Amino acid sequence: MVNAAVSVIQPLFDDPIVVSIRFRYSTVYADGVTPLPSNLLAASESGIHVIPWNTYVGALAAGGTTTNDTAANASLPGTALSTNVDTASASGRAIGLDTPPVMFADGSLGLGGPYDGIVTINSNVAFTFTRPPASATYDAQRSVEHEIDEVLGLGSSIGVRADLRPQDLFSWSAAGVRSLTSSGSRYFSIDGGATSIVGFNQDPSGDRGDWLSGSCPQTTPFVQNAFSCPDQFSDVTLTSPEGINLDVIGYDLITGSTTSRPTTSTTTTTTLPCPSPQVECCPVGQPGCGVCGTDCGNGGCCPANLPVCDNVNGLCITCAPGQVGCCPVGQPGCGMCGTDCGNGACCPAALPVCDNANGLCVAQAPQCPSGETPCSDAALGFPDVGCCAQPTKAKQCAAACRQIISACKTSCAATTRAKKCKKRCQSAIVGHCKRARPHACS
């Protein structure tokens, strides 16, 4: 699905740049902590470069290649509308500016950041990853195209900060009348306001760089509409408002009406491979969905928001805070949650306390006095724990282990062959202690 979105947008433009975008499927932003709003389909995060007005406008005007650019550049103001223009790193490079990627995988910014932006699809939303979307679901590809457009440079700073974004240079309320306010109506125009291509959103609950959206189902369900509807889908095209807008902020739209200017092909990087040990985790019949998750070992896969496989019940589950998936080696998908023992082992919820000294999982670790350590009769099938001395000689084992032997004998009372069980407690625990090096009761 991510590749499908890229394959829609990439062939429309011919710029000698590489745009690097990280794609995610999650309920939180790239920092891994901040939750996405429940009503948000997807989000983009991108690096912004602050460019002096004259530098930016001069580069934009010099880079025109299409009839759209000719008209749009003619409408550029003769005097500065803001001190600077805040351009996305990708769109700055499209007009020849030195605006490298500055975003790291966690959404932080700094020199050396490898990404122009990060796109996160909200995994709590009912999406369909192939077309047409299933009833009452949203088209995932449309949301991805929307967020790619924003990483490429669409977006407004109106009502947010004083310096304008490139898109704001083409915001009008009437022929010859610019509108840079968050009140009233505005529209996108490339001929000085004479022709309205599409209205801008002024609803503060949506982005002001997005399009004005009608009620569902929408008559014009454009990709960049501020609010999407289920059951509808669309794409960026040469003549869609998105294609025209990307053209006039500096990308070279491939049309039959262009001025001569040598270029090389644009290459857009897509998603990273899933981080180890995750694998691609797409619904059946929906390959390329861009979802990473847990390999369940049986051909199934659980997404990152429900990462634990319960193969017995055919479920994907999540463990309680502080717990991890707790399966025996070679048995993925057991569906157990438990305690990470910090040494590669895991104790299940029924015996959640790690006794790493004895390689055991116990129900509760006792507080032992100095000179004694926790001991268990788990090897005999009982859950008892106690405190045992540390014998230095084999003949000391019976005395050292008396507490756990007593607990074991008490548990034997509930068995059908209690007398034999009690004898086994004595012989097994003491025998283990004598054989162990160093000597230990469990």
Residue 269, classified by CB atoms within 10 Å of its CB into exposed (0-12), middle (13-18) or buried (19+), is: middle
**For the chain, which ranges sit under pLDDT 50?**
257-272
Residue position matching structure tokens 């090897």 = 379
| 72-100 tens-digit pLDDT | 999 999 999 999 999 999 999 999 999 99
DSSP letter (8 states) at residue 163: S
d(CA 337, CA 317): 9
With beta carbons less than 8 A apart as the criterion, state whether 159 and 170 touch.
no
Q: What is the pLDDT of residue 199?
A: 96
Give the chain's length: 442
With beta carbons less than 8 A apart as the criterion, state whether 13 and 246 touch.
yes
Token representation of residue 287: 């390959």
Residue position matching structure tokens 């040494």 = 343
Give one DSSP letter per residue of 180-196, joined into a string.
-SSSS--EE-SSTTSS-
Q: What is the pLDDT of residue 259?
A: 38
| 31-40 tens-digit pLDDT | 988 999 988 9
With beta carbons less than 8 A apart as the criterion, state whether 127 and 25 touch.
no
Token representation of residue 100: 């490298």
Q: What is the pLDDT of residue 286?
A: 59
Residue 417, classified by CB atoms within 10 Å of its CB into exposed (0-12), middle (13-18) or buried (19+), is: exposed
Token representation of residue 4: 């499908």
Burial 321-337 (b: 16+ CB within 10 A, else e): eebebbbeeeebbbbbb
The half-sphere exposure of 88 on its side-chain side, counting CA atoms within 13 A, is: 30
Spatial CA neighbour of 379 closest among 344, 405, 353, 414:
405
Percentage helix, strand, coil, to 5, in the chain? 25, 25, 55
